Amino acid sequence: MDFELMAEAFPKILSGLPVTIVLAASSLFLGFFLAIVIALLRTSRFLPLSGFAYSFVYVFRGTPLLVQIFLIYYGTGQFEAVRESFLWPVLREAWWCAILALTLNTGAYTSEIIRGGIQAVPFGQIEAAKACGMNAVMRFRRIVFPQAIRQALPAYGNEIILMIKSTSLASTITLLEMTGIARKMISQTYKPLEIFLIAAVFYLALVFIVTRLVAFIEYRLNPERRDAVRTPIVKDLRTASVGDIDIR
């Protein structure tokens, strides 16, 4: 193990951490709103809209993210109509192509997570909201969406972690995020173990922070979990009084 090289690689790979974070945060932010739209289209009774949403999800979940990045970055430039359109200033930049590919990919996966959360909302609550005179927008904002997010949060936490790790694929189209810097150093030193080990430590740290943050949000959004923590556990039923035991 070349510890001197590892010490040298640490600040260099650290310089790519902001790029990784911005890539992941931008893609997750844009992909979340895209996912809400796709999830609503998937639950629509209008067949063309639900069919379009199903096709979108099927394509982006059924093809590798690396292929999607290559198709957007390398593939769109071969069409003259694209090169002459207003989209070309965006599609010719590796940064925007990476964000676009990551956004579309996470939007497809997140839409299925949100759709599952929406379908988990009890139908009786929706009927009660209708009886109270709420329109569709108000029902979604006050009844359906808050409960769907609570149901979908654990799975969405996994999607955040996967997206953080997926940003490493942006290095294949010349972006110098953490993996890109690591690959550049490896091409100069021919010592992948030490350099990739440092990169792995940074990814592990990011994932640890995200898992703790998601767990905290999940704890705050579920009052029953907080109540369960506050309620003392009766260890010996033989010495407990009737009032100590909660029978449900």
Spatial contact of 178 and 132, defined as CB atoms under 8 Å apart: no
**pLDDT value for 236:** 47
Spatial contact of 196 and 5, defined as CB atoms under 8 Å apart: no
**pLDDT value for 240:** 47
The residues of the chain scoring below 50 in pLDDT are 233-248
| Spatial distance between the Cα atoms of 116 and 130, rounded to a whole number of angstroms | 21
**pLDDT value for 81:** 87
Q: Which are the contacts of 182, defined by CB distance < 8 A and separation ≥ 6?
A: 9, 13, 195, 196, 198, 199
The conformational region for residue 36 under phi > 0 = left, psi -120 to 50 = alpha, else beta, is alpha
**pLDDT value for 70:** 94
**pLDDT value for 225:** 60
**pLDDT value for 244:** 45
**pLDDT value for 203:** 95
**pLDDT value for 238:** 46
How many angstroms from the chain centroid is the CA of residue 65? 14
| Spatial distance between the Cα atoms of 24 and 209, rounded to a whole number of angstroms | 14
| Spatial distance between the Cα atoms of 26 and 42, rounded to a whole number of angstroms | 24
Closest by Cα among 220, 117, 225, 206 to 163? 206
Give the pair of three-digit tokens for residue 223: 């009052």
